[in-house]
Amino acid sequence: MTRPRKQIHLAAHFPGVNNTTVWSDPRSGSHIDFASFVHLARTAERAKFDFFFLAEGLRLREYNGRIHDLDVVGRPDTFTVLAALAAVTDRLGLAGTINSTFNEPFEVARQFATLDHLSAGRAAWNVVTSWDAFTGENFRRGGFLPQDQRYERAETFLRTATELFDSWRGDEIAADADAGVFLRDPAAGAFRHEDAHFAVRGRFSVPRSPQGRPVILQAGDSDGGREFAASSADAIFTGHNTLEAGRAFHADVKRRLARYGRARDDLKVLPAATFVLGDTDAEAEELAREVTLAQHSGPTALRFLEQVWNRDLSGYDPDGPLPDVDPVDGENTVVQGRASVRLFRDRLATAREWRARAEGEGLSIRQLVVALSGGQTFVGSPATVADRIDALVQADAADGFILVPHLTPGGLDPFADRVVPLLQERGVFRADYTGTTLREHLDLPPLPAPGGGRTGGRSGDVAASRA
Partner 1 sequence: MAPRPPLHLAVALDGAGWHPAAWRAPDARPRDLFTAGYWRDLVTEAERGLLDLVTIEDGLALQSADPFRPDDRTDAVRGRLDAVLVAARVAPLTRHVGLVPTVVATHTEPFHVSKAIATLDHVSLGRAGVRVRISARPDEAALFGRRAVPPLDPRGPLAPDQEQLVADLLDEAGDHVEVQRRLWDSWEDDAEIRDAATGRFIDRDRLHYIDFIGRRFSVKGPSITPRPPQGQPVVAVLAHTEPVVRLGARVADVVLVTPRDAADAARLVALVRREQEAAGRGGETVHVLADVAVLLDASPAAARDRREHLDELAGDLVPAGYTGDDAHLVTGTAAELADLLLEWQDAGVSGFRLRPATLPHDLEAVTRALVPLLQDRGAFRQGYATSTLRGHLGLARPANRYATA
| Contacts (CB under 8 A) with partner 1, residues 185-204 | 185-189, 198-204
Number of helices (H), then strands (E), belonging to the chain: the values are 16, 19
Cα gap 159→165, rounded to integer Å: 10
Restricting to residues 118-137, name those near partner 1 by CB under 8 A: 118-120, 137
> Shortest approach of partner 1 to residue 425 CB, angstroms?
34
Pick the closer one to partner 1 by CB: 73 or 328.
73
Helix pair angle (105-118, 150-165), 10° resolution? 50
Restricting to residues 80-109, name those near partner 1 by CB under 8 A: 80-81, 83-84, 86-88, 102-104, 106-107
> Shortest approach of partner 1 to residue 8 CB, angstroms?
30
Secondary structure (DSSP) of 241-282? -SHHHHHHHHHHHHHHHGGGT--GGGSEEEEEE-EEE-SSHH
Binding mask 240-279 for partner 1 (x = CB under 8 A): ----------------------------------------
Restricting to residues 1-30, name those near partner 1 by CB under 8 A: 23-24
> Shortest approach of partner 1 to residue 257 CB, angstroms?
32
In the DSSP assignment, the letter for residue 126 is: E
Q: For residue 191, which phi and psi values (nearest 5 degrees)?
A: -150, 160
Q: Does 458 participate in binding partner 1 (rule CB under 8 A)?
A: no
CA angle 393, 394, 398 (to 5 degrees): 25
Q: How far is CA 212 from the centre of its chain?
A: 21
Q: Does 74 participate in binding partner 1 (rule CB under 8 A)?
A: yes
Pick the closer one to partner 1 by CB: 37 or 429.
37
> Shortest approach of partner 1 to residue 236 CB, angstroms?
26
Stretch near partner 1 under the rule CB under 8 A, chosen from 111-119, 231-239, 411-419, 438-446: 111-119
Binding mask 283-302 for partner 1 (x = CB under 8 A): --------------xxxx--
Cβ–Cβ under 8 Å, residues 211 and 89: no
Pick the closer one to partner 1 by CB: 183 or 371.
183
First to last CA, the chain: 45
> Shortest approach of partner 1 to residue 362 CB, angstroms?
25
Helix pair angle (365-373, 281-295), 10° resolution? 120
Cα gap 181→301, rounded to integer Å: 65
Measured between alpha carbons, how far is residue 359 from residues 117, 300, 318, 350, 355 in Å?
58, 21, 15, 14, 6
Pick the closer one to partner 1 by CB: 71 or 227.
71
Cα gap 31→16, rounded to integer Å: 9
Stretch near partner 1 under the rule CB under 8 A, chosen from 175-183, 248-256, 262-270, 392-400: 175-183
The site that binds partner 1 (CB under 8 A) totals a number of residues, namely 78
Stretch near partner 1 under the rule CB under 8 A, chosen from 63-71, 228-236, 355-363, 396-404: 63-71
Q: Does 182 participate in binding partner 1 (rule CB under 8 A)?
A: yes
| Near partner 1 by CB under 8 A: residue from 79, 157, 228, 237 | 79
